[in-house]
Amino acid sequence: FFLMKIFFGFRYAYNNCLAYHRGPGKYDRAEYNIPTLYSDAPPLPNWILKICKRAADLEVIPSVEFIDMAVINLYAVPGQGLAVHIDPSSLFLRPILSARFFSESVLSFNVKGQYTGHRTHNIVIPRGSLTVMEGYAANNVTHAVRHFLSFGPVSLGVELCMPLGG
């Protein structure tokens, strides 16, 4: 699978990725899932700021300035997904916004492991929509874009947030 991440404003890397590149023994297991924030990404482009303005106009966020980081997840092959995760509240302020372009997708909540043996809740995210995650859903429930529920030849998801310390 080919998933490209493009960062604006800030970028992050999880220590498990760094450990993979640096070799075993550089991080202990407890540190693997702690992301590190870097301020070397290019500034938010105008088209992303327009999304932020719309979110501020709808009073989803307090102002355009609330958002100073965008992560573009580009799925270039049909059927790609995004791994099970919770966006860490130690790194990102709430709410976290997600905009969907080019095709619809399915956001799955309460996802674990290989997605079997328990109840999940799937929400179809239409193309052109803005999804807002905060509170219990953002802080306590895993979510994923499951590869077998993705649609379209190309999908583009943009996560917008304010990193803590940003």
- CA dist., res. 149 & res. 122, Å (int): 9
Q: In what order do the strands lie in the sheet with 96-101?
A: 3-8, 69-75, 155-161, 96-101, 130-133
Token code pair at residue 6: 């493009």
Which active-site residues does the annotation give?
A: 12
Q: How far is residue 91's CA from residue 87's CA, in Å, rounded to a whole number?
A: 8
**How many angstroms separate the first and last alpha carbons of the chain?**
31
**44-48 long-range contacts, CB within 8 A, separation 24+:** 44/8, 44/9, 44/68, 44/69, 44/70, 45/8, 48/8, 48/158, 48/160
Backbone dihedral angles phi then psi of residue 29, each to the nearest 5 degrees: -60, -35
